[in-house]
Amino acid sequence: MLIIGLTGNIGAGKSAVAKRMVALGAHLVDADVLAREAVAPGSPGLAAIVARWGPAMIAPDGSLDRSALRRIVFGDSAERAALDAIVHPEVARRRESAVSAAQAAGAKIVVCDIPLLFETGLESTIDCIVLVEAPVAVRRERLVHSRGLSPADADAMIGAQMPSEQKRARASHVVDNSGTLAALKVRVDALWNTLSAEAARA
């Protein structure tokens, strides 16, 4: 089994690459899904967040008030580190369990979608790294027009991540997503052939 770490800075189009890989036969382990599970109502993760920042972190329906938490942690590296210390270990535990289940089910290629792969030092837990890239201006445009973020919020989220240039040298494969979805599909399909060959050798 080949375990792929799929990563890319916000707005690069990592989710589109993951979706295409699943269509081609990959088993996906999505860090965003695991992170939501890690802070679901009744979870130890949510309890730890409330203990750290107070009951204002709970929305009326009992779930995590993500907007309230975002206002605290974005722009404050110490607060963000405190949140990471709560969430990341639980996400890692859930990822390991999901990968083991995929292996038991006979999966040949498992794609672990990990936005902060390099930032959290997870390179040693996977077989190869696929980095999705797009220029900062393109990513900013996507965040503002596709996700509805304000330009200031988009800039803050982009600035909070390690520059893509630093990640490129540490990636096994780089996918350029500066253009159309059709162009991206062609690139991902070509990469899939390479990854399938690697999986066969593994």
Give 37-52 pLDDT, tens digit per residue. Answer: 999 999 999 999 999 9
Q: Does some domain include residue 191?
A: yes
Q: What is the CATH number of the domain that holds 134?
A: 3.40.50.300
| pLDDT value of position 74 | 78
| pLDDT value of position 2 | 96
Q: Does some domain include residue 71?
A: yes
Q: Distance between CA atoms of 5 and 190, rounded to whole angstroms? A: 17
Q: Does some domain include residue 149?
A: yes
The count of domains in the chain is 1
Closest CA to 155 of 139, 133, 168: 139
Q: Does some domain include residue 133?
A: yes
Q: Does some domain include residue 125?
A: yes
Q: Distance between CA atoms of 162 and 74, rounded to whole angstroms? A: 14
For Cα atoms 167, 120, 175, give the angle at the middle one, nearest 5 degrees.
30
Q: What is the pLDDT of residues 150-172, one digit of tens each?
A: 999 899 889 888 898 899 999 99
| pLDDT value of position 58 | 96
The pLDDT tens digits along the chain (202 residues) read 999 999 999 999 999 999 999 999 999 999 889 999 999 999 999 999 999 999 999 999 999 999 899 889 877 889 989 999 999 889 989 999 999 999 999 999 999 999 889 988 889 999 999 999 999 999 999 999 988 889 998 998 898 888 988 999 999 999 999 999 999 999 999 999 999 999 998 7
Q: Does some domain include residue 17?
A: yes
| pLDDT value of position 77 | 85
Q: Does some domain include residue 202?
A: no
On the CB side of 81, CA atoms within 13 Å amount to 3
| pLDDT value of position 157 | 85
| pLDDT value of position 60 | 94
Residue numbers of the domain that contains 179: 2-197
